[in-house]
Amino acid sequence: MSISMTKEAPVERAEAPVQPVSWRKRIGTVRMYLGVLIVLVWGLGPFYWMTVVAFRDQAYTFDSTPWPTHVTLDNFRNAFDTSRGNNFGQALLNSVIIGAATTAVALLLGVLAAYALARMAFAGKYLVSGLILSASMFPAVVLVTPLFQLFTDLGWIGHYQAMIIPNISFVLPMTVYILASFFAELPWELEEAARIDGATKFQAFRLIMLPLAAPAVFTTAILAFIASINEYLLARLLSGEKTRPVTVAIAQFSGNDPLVQPYAAIMAAGVIVTVPLVIMVLVFQRRIISGLTAGGVKS
């Protein structure tokens, strides 16, 4: 159907004055924009509602007026308030520390493995890629009991490494797969050409291939960071009061009354976590989609 839209559009425009657009085509257009509207509401609706409530006076949290009313910044102040046992500011910092460390190490290890898988022929290659793929299929709960005991014995509960090290392994399979499928598509013949022109192997890599591979590495970094920020199950058991990431902090957010959930402040906290991610998505939309769909379609 998309073909009919693109290919016949000019013809239709040329003939429009003489021959009116067929009703069939009009219904098609209306249906398409209806579909677009539904998908837009799907994507933005709940996020919009979270934002409206975050900026609304908490006395009106359950008011269902669809546009912003009783606008205030109080909920954001409450989100960062530490007097009720919450420490959202610290949690934000913790998530950034855990996410950044996880992403950096996973990329460092992942780039090497992806290069080998994409560019080198070696015995056991399929075994390696099979192992890495099957590692991504393990349910995290299988790991939780032994890791909880091990990290308790090591005295790691409440330290960052208790979350960074498991997170690295969770994002590694994804990192390797996305990088390998990007690397396989790079124009490696340019490396050969540089070598012929007298560049050393290292120069060819650093001056020619690295700049070409940089966007792929960057895209993978975004995906690894988002995946790492998202982790909740292990962090719930392995984090301490000081190292709690935002996922755990938001899940356990408490208010004045233990029986009443402070939803206004929780929505404000949710907006603070989500807005940077939404900006990232808007800016890097094309790259993120290419990263997400790499590997998935070809295999």
Partner 1 sequence: MSDPSGAKQRGLALELRQSGKAWLFVTPVLVALAVVIGYPVVQAIIMSFQKDSGIDPATGMFVEGGGAGLSNYTHWLLQQCNTLGGVVACPTGTLGSQFWSAVGVTLFFTVVTVSLEAVLGLGMAVVMGKTFRGRALLRAAVLIPWAIPTAVTARLWEFMFQYDGVVNRVLGTHILWTSDVWASRFAVIAADVWKTTPFMALLILAGLQVIPADVYEAAKVDGASAWQRFVHITLPLLKPALLVAVLFRTMDALRMYDLPAIMTLGNPSTNTLSILVVEQVRQGPNSAAALSTITFLLVFAIAFVLVKVLGANAVRTQEEQRKAN
Q: Which of residues 170-229 bind partner 1 (CB under 8 A)?
A: 172-173, 176, 226, 229
In degrees and rounded to multiples of 5, residue 71 shows phi and psi of -65, 135
Helix (H, G, I), strand (E, B) or coil at 45: helix
Binding of partner 1 by 280 (CB under 8 A) = yes
Among 157, 159, 274, 287, binds partner 1 (CB under 8 A): 274
Binding of partner 1 by 260 (CB under 8 A) = no
Shorter beta-carbon distance to partner 1: residue 131 or 190: 131
Binding of partner 1 by 47 (CB under 8 A) = yes
Q: Which residues are CB-contacts of 253 (< 8 A; sequence separation ≥ 6)?
A: 86, 88, 261, 262, 265, 266, 269
Shorter beta-carbon distance to partner 1: residue 18 or 66: 66
Binding of partner 1 by 5 (CB under 8 A) = yes
Segment lying near partner 1 (by CB under 8 A), choices 45-53, 70-78, 82-90, 211-219:
45-53
Please answer whether residues 262 and 81 qualify as being in contact, where contact means their C-beta atoms are separated by less than 8 angstroms.
Answer: no
181's tokens: 């499928």
Binding of partner 1 by 233 (CB under 8 A) = yes
Residues 133-162 binding partner 1 (CB under 8 A) are 135, 137-150
For the bound state, the minimum distance from the C-beta of residue 81 to partner 1, rounded and expressed in Å, comes to 17
Q: Which of 221, 232, 211, 256 is nearest to 58 (CA)?
A: 256
Helix (H, G, I), strand (E, B) or coil at 56: strand
For the bound state, the minimum distance from the C-beta of residue 32 to partner 1, rounded and expressed in Å, comes to 6
Segment lying near partner 1 (by CB under 8 A), choices 118-126, 155-163, 186-194, 197-205:
118-126
| Residues near partner 1 (CB under 8 A), total | 95
Q: How far is residue 208's CA from residue 193's CA, in Å, rounded to a whole number?
A: 10
Residues in contact with partner 1, shown as a per-residue x/- string from 58 to 77 under the rule CB under 8 A: ----x-x-------------
Shorter beta-carbon distance to partner 1: residue 19 or 299: 299
Binding of partner 1 by 255 (CB under 8 A) = no
Q: How far is residue 103's CA from residue 230's CA, in Å, rounded to a whole number?
A: 13
Q: How far is residue 97's CA from residue 243's CA, in Å, rounded to a whole number?
A: 10
Per DSSP, the residues of 263-292 read: HHHHHHHHHHHHHHHHHHHHHTHHHHHHHH
Q: Which residues are CB-contacts of 126 (< 8 A; sequence separation ≥ 6)?
A: none
Q: How far is residue 226's CA from residue 57's CA, in Å, rounded to a whole number?
A: 31
Among 121, 155, 189, 197, binds partner 1 (CB under 8 A): 121
Binding of partner 1 by 124 (CB under 8 A) = yes
Binding of partner 1 by 278 (CB under 8 A) = yes
Please answer whether residues 172 and 132 qualify as being in contact, where contact means their C-beta atoms are separated by less than 8 angstroms.
Answer: yes
For the bound state, the minimum distance from the C-beta of residue 128 to partner 1, rounded and expressed in Å, comes to 5
